[in-house]
Amino acid sequence: MEQRATPTGIKVIIVGAGFAGLTAAIECYRKGHDVVLLESFPVLKPLGDIISFGPNAGRIVARWGNGSVVEQIYPISIKNKELKFFKYDGDFITAQQVPPQNPVTPFLNGHRGEIHEIVFNHAQKIGIDIRLGCRVLEYLEEEGRAGVRVNGETIWGDVVIGSDGVRSKARELVLGYTDKPKSSGYAIYRAWFDSEPLLKDPLTKHLVENGDTHTGWLGPEVHFLAASLKGGKDFSWVVTHKDEADIEESWSLPGKIEDALKVIDGWDPVVRRIVELTPECVDWKLVYRDPLPTWVSKGGRTCLAGDAAHPFLPTSIQGASQAMEDGCVLAACLQIGGKDNVPTAVRAYEKIRYGRCRRAQLLGEETRDMWHKADFDKVKEDPEKIKLKREDWLFLHDCEANTYEVYDDVAKELNGQVTSDAEQPIPRQTAVSA
Ligand SMILES: Cc1cc2nc3c(=O)[nH]c(=O)nc-3n(C[C@H](O)[C@H](O)[C@H](O)COP(=O)(O)OP(=O)(O)OC[C@H]3O[C@@H](n4cnc5c(N)ncnc54)[C@H](O)[C@@H]3O)c2cc1C
């Protein structure tokens, strides 16, 4: 089912079974570590709507179960050939071609809950100790070990990975303070539904009648992205817009269709009809968080991964991919470092990941600004200006191979240091889902 390296004797406690935690768990298993994965949800639910994994993450998933995990995701993943862009009033701008799929580095884009279920089931099948209904209330660390308090029990290990999402509790131990989110000035209405009503409507049927499509409409401070998937049977849209509200409770709240319609007042009738025909939507607020000064505790045995470490803007289209890279790199660092060098391995993980991740985060701000502040006269002359960047440094990166290549040098450098220090520049803020 899954190839496993020689056992390392390293016990890894992972908190949170999102894509960061599940990837860390599967990769730690593959690298020979012992894993306990704790998740607060009492049962698995297919939550969310559209999510994307770039080829840099597809490469990680493609190795699991001899390709069987990707084989399960392919049928539910989008198969569009191009991404069409329109100005908000309906003027066609350009079509960006989608490169053909590569089985080694597949691009995966589909329903978050459905993809999550496939990855979760794989982790369970290979025998990872996943414990649902386990909300970690406290993180502990002392000389030579780290642990968590959960359901009245204390569990100790060699290392704890806090992959507990945007409202991470692990962050408190790592940083030594609670960092509060701030309003970003943006929010997203988003929806996923059966495309039947769109097929019946002459204005929208072209979006779903011939299989999968991906379309964007761009306006001042607003963009609308729509996708049809599963041969056009399912439909998803997101509209990012200005919003000053502040929330902390949930990643999403119920939204109102009439509020979403206000955001696209005067837009292309096709966009308006899509929203009018949508049964329900959610309201996903975006809040700012400063990039964290470090992802690793002073003792080096507790670290952050995924959204807990580095929240992403949706326009980066890399949040889940970078969460996967974290898990993969961390597992490899622990394997190379071995049981006697866990703190160095964990600090090496941070050093290898921090700068790359920050660069990917900033791409999200660039894309948002490129779309929201587009000068359409200039875009008409040069439509390349609004196309999504598909950069080789991001997409062609093999994070596992790179870790094996650079680990020794990174560890040597770190061993001259007393405590972990993220040495990369920490400029601007980054917006995240609240
Ligand atoms: C329910 C849900 C729906 C989402 N839907 C979308 C979507 O439609 N589109 C999209 O782009 N992104 C979505 N996201 C966000 C996206 O999954 C992440 O941004 C990205 O995949 C990074 O994943 P992560 O594992 O770091 O964080 P998350 O996916 O947020 O996972 C964190 C996990 O940690 C668990 N957890 C938190 N605190 C504790 C604790 N104290 N003890 C134990 N477990 C804990 C949470 O229950 C969660 O399962 C969603 C996230 C969630 C949780």
Q: Which atom of ligand 1 is nearest to the CA of 22?
A: 25
30 included as an active-site residue: no
3-state class (DSSP) for residue 283: strand
The residue among 388 and 57 whose pLDDT is bigger is 57
CATH no. for 11-80+102-181+290-380+388-433? 3.50.50.60
Q: What is the DSSP letter of 58?
A: H
Q: From the CB of 205, is ligand 1 less than 6 Å away?
A: no
pLDDT reported for residue 427:
43
| CATH 3.30.9.30 domain span(s) along the chain | 182-289
Q: Counting atoms of ligand 1 from 1, which one is nearest the CA of 164?
A: 34
Q: Side chain identity at 95, as an amino acid letter?
A: A
Give the model's pLDDT for residue 417: 60
Ligand 1 atom 12, closest CA? 51
Return the ligand 1 atom nearest residue 49 CA.
Answer: 8
Task: Evaluate: CB of 400 within 6 angstroms of ligand 1.
Answer: no
Name the nearest CA neighbour of 275 among 258, 250, 294.
258
Whole-number pLDDT of residue 89: 95
293-335: per-residue pLDDT in tens?
A: 999 999 999 999 999 998 888 888 899 999 999 999 999 999 9
Pocket of ligand 1 contains residue 327 by CB under 6 Å: no
The CA distance from 240 to 224, in Å, is 7
Return the top range by mean pLDDT from 174-178, 254-258, 327-331.
Answer: 327-331
**CA–CA gap between residue 92 and residue 83 (Å, rounded):** 12
The answer to whether the CB of 334 is under 6 A from ligand 1 is: no
Which of 400, 394, 407, 301 lies closest to 27 in space, CA to CA?
A: 400
Residue 283 CA to ligand 1 center (angstroms) comes to 16
Torsion-angle region of residue 133: left (phi > 0), alpha (psi -120 to 50) or beta?
left
List residues bridging with 290 in a β-sheet: none
pLDDT surpasses 90 at 73: yes
- At residue 307, the pLDDT reads 92
* 262, 171 Cβ separation under 8 angstroms: no
* Lowest-confidence segment of 83-92, 376-385, 395-404, 416-425 by average pLDDT: 416-425
Can you tell me which atom of ligand 1 is nearest the CA of 168? 38
Query: Cβ atoms within 10 A of the Cβ of 401, count?
Result: 11
CATH 3.50.50.60 boundaries in the chain: 11-80+102-181+290-380+388-433
CATH topology of domain 182-289: D-Amino Acid Oxidase; Chain A, domain 2 (3.30.9)
Q: Distance, CA 350 to ligand 1 centroid (Å)?
A: 21
Nearest CA to ligand 1 atom 46: 16
Q: How confident is the model at residue 244 (pLDDT cuts 50, 70, 90)?
A: low
Structure-block tokens of residue 242: 């200005």
Report whether residue 164 contacts ligand 1, using a CB cutoff of 6 Å: yes
Ligand 1 centre to CA of 255 (Å) is: 19
Question: Which pLDDT value is given to residue 184?
Answer: 73
The H-assigned helical ranges of 102-202 are 112-125, 170-175, 196-200
Ligand 1 near 41 CB (within 6 A)? yes
Q: What is the pLDDT of residues 6-22, one digit of tens each?
A: 999 999 999 999 999 99
Q: How far is the CA of 6 from the centre of ligand 1 (A)?
A: 31
Give residue 308 CA to ligand 1 midpoint distance, Å: 9
Atom 41 of ligand 1, nearest CA residue: 136
Q: What's residue 162's pLDDT?
A: 98
- Tell me what pLDDT residue 429 has: 52
Residue 165 Cα to ligand 1 midpoint, Å, equals 5
Give Rg (Cα) of the chain: 22
Residue tagged active-site, from 59, 112, 190, 289? 190
Residue to mutate (ligand 1; options 26, 43, 251; most atoms within 8 A of CB): 251
CA of 214 to the centre of ligand 1 (A): 25
Residue 143: exposure state from Cβ atoms within 10 A (0-12, 13-18, ≥19): exposed
Please state, in angstroms and rounded to a whole number, the distance separating the CA atoms of residues 313 and 365.
Answer: 7
Q: Is the CB of 195 under 6 A from ligand 1?
A: no
Say how many Å lie between the CA of residue 20 and the centre of ligand 1: 8
How far apart, in whole angstroms, are the C-alpha atoms of residue 15 and residue 23? Answer: 12
Average pLDDT, the chain: 91
Residue 311 CA: which ligand 1 atom is closest? 19
CA 384 to chain centre: 26
Q: Say if CB 27 and CB 10 are below 8 A apart.
A: no
Q: What is the pLDDT of residues 117-159, one digit of tens each?
A: 999 999 999 999 999 999 999 999 999 999 999 999 999 999 9
The CB of 19 under 6 Å from ligand 1? The reply is: yes
What confidence category does residue 247 fall into, taking pLDDT thresholds of 50, 70 and 90?
low
Residue carrying the six token digits 């206000």: 262
Q: How many secondary structure helices (H) and strands (E) does the chain include?
A: 13, 19
Asked if 281 and 260 touch (Cβ cutoff 8 Å), the reply is yes
Pick from 270, 252, 107: which is nearest to 192 by CA?
252
350 lines ligand 1 (CB under 6 A): no
Q: Are 13 and 147 in contact (CB under 8 A)?
A: yes
Two structure tokens written together for 5: 């390296």
Q: Give the pair of three-digit tokens for residue 57.
A: 């993450």
Instruction: Give 395's pLDDT tier (boundaries 50, 70, 90).
Output: very high
Ligand 1 touching residue 116 (CB < 6 A): no
Who wins on pLDDT, 34 or 245? 34
Lowest mean pLDDT among 115-119, 248-252, 332-336, 382-386: 248-252
Mean pLDDT of 163-170: 92
Residue 181 near residue 292 (C-beta atoms within 8 A): no
Q: What is the mean pLDDT of residues 189-211?
A: 97
Give per-residue pLDDT as tens, 332-367: 999 999 999 999 999 999 999 999 999 998 888 888
Q: Report in angstroms the alpha-carbon separations of 24 from 18, 29, 112, 317.
A: 10, 8, 18, 20
Dihedral of CA atoms 83, 87, 90, 95 in degrees, nearest 10, equals -20
State residue 418's pLDDT score. Answer: 45
Burial 49-81 (b: 16+ CB within 10 A, else e): bbbbbbbbbbbbbbbbbeeebbebbeebbbbbe
Q: How many CB atoms sit inside 10 A of residue 256's CB?
A: 12
